[in-house]
Amino acid sequence: MTTDRDALTGTYDVLVDYLTDSTLTDAQLDALLSHAEAGGGYVGVHCASDLTSTYDPDDLIDSREEPFPELRELVGGHFLTHPEQSEFTVEITGEHPVVAGVADFSVFDEPYQVAVDDDVRVLARMDHPDLDAYPVVWTNESAGRVAYVSLGHTDEAFETDAFRRVLGNAVSWAAEGA
């Protein structure tokens, strides 16, 4: 595990992305996109869809108006906003190895409101009392073996067996192409 983005130029079966700052050098971006195009897996978790945030040494996090287009195309969607952390239900809406063996579950987490492309395969949606049924798990096979899971902000989420199973399934599925 590393936060050193220069490590993207290495060789991996699966890259798991849990970083908010979407700023990549040309070499890092090329390595990430080449990895996915060559059949390597990519699993984005929670803040990986925050494709408008950038690191600013003075303010820590700054933002852009539009998401980084190449990353948006890879992930198949992007973060818009979120309300306060709360408990909500995750409803499994499709059959796929990423959600195999997982039934609907409740989680205390930061519910992400996201924009998604029409061609992603939505596998789970949130049933939140104050929000639309935003997708929380999807695959973007048009970009390769790409999966995204919007959960994962709180310790409680990571302690939820069903969420951990989805993450494990996503990594296993993404690795199958390697």
| Residue 66 lies inside a defined structural domain of this protein | yes
What mean pLDDT do residues 122-127 have?
A: 98
Residue that has been written with the tokens 């190449």 in this structure:
70
Domain that holds residue 56: 14-175
| Residue 142 lies inside a defined structural domain of this protein | yes
| Residue 33 lies inside a defined structural domain of this protein | yes
The CATH number of the domain holding residue 108 is: 3.40.50.880
State how far the Cα of 76 lies from the Cα of 120, in Å rounded to an integer: 6
| Residue 8 lies inside a defined structural domain of this protein | no
Q: How many domains does the chain have?
A: 1
What is residue 50's predicted lDDT score, i.e. its pLDDT?
87
On the question of pLDDT at 174 being above 80, the answer is: yes
Residue that has been written with the tokens 């239900």 in this structure:
89
| Residue 46 lies inside a defined structural domain of this protein | yes
115 Cβ contact list (under 8 Å, min separation 6): 77, 78, 80
Q: What are 97-116's pLDDT values in tens digits?
A: 999 999 999 999 999 999 99
| Residue 154 lies inside a defined structural domain of this protein | yes
| Residue 5 lies inside a defined structural domain of this protein | no
Q: What are 13-72's pLDDT values in tens digits?
A: 999 998 777 788 899 899 999 999 999 999 999 988 888 777 666 666 667 677 888 999
| Residue 7 lies inside a defined structural domain of this protein | no
